[in-house]
Amino acid sequence: MIADQDPYVRDMVSRFISDAGYRVTVAAQGYEALDDARKLLPAAIMADIMLPKLDGLTLCRLLKSDPATERIITVIVFSVLSAEERARKAGADGFILKPLEKSRVLNVLEQAIVKGPQNG
């Protein structure tokens, strides 16, 4: 799942990931991503920190503290902000500093999925 308010970013990252053979869903804001994640239980969510209505760090904390999703969903946070430490403290399994490049997105995604969701 890709969660970003910018339709260009959602489309671009969706293409990166679908071209690599993954199925992709998208969300434009945080609560939409949270609801969809709880229903669909995707293997991974890539979320921008600055999502509207529910930011990406709070989304990550909620998914990592929910017994239904904490051990299933890998969360990767991305941002124009240098916020890797904040993302890790929120429980993120990976972080990508924008601009998003295909090789970096796929590398972080694949490493995080292989490693699996971290807990606590």
> 34 and 62 in contact (C-beta within 8 Å)?
yes
Residue 118: pLDDT band by 50, 70, 90 thresholds?
low
- Count how many domains the chain has: 1
In a domain, 90, yes or no: yes
Question: pLDDT digits over 55-71, tens only?
Answer: 999 999 999 999 989 88
Structural domain of 56 = 2-115
pLDDT band for 120, please (50, 70, 90 cuts): very low
User: pLDDT of 95-107, one tens digit each?
Assistant: 999 999 999 999 9
Asked if the structure places residue 40 within a domain, the reply is yes
Q: Which residues contact 26 (CB under 8 A, 6 or more apart)?
A: 1, 2, 3, 4, 10, 14
Q: What is the CATH number of the domain that holds 49?
A: 3.40.50.2300
Residue 60 belongs to some domain of the structure: yes
Residue 22 lies in a domain: yes
Within a domain: residue 95? yes
Q: What is the dihedral of CA 116, 35, 30, 120, to 10 degrees?
A: -30
> Does a structural domain hold residue 120?
no
> If pLDDT is split at 50, 70 and 90, which confidence band does 112 have?
confident
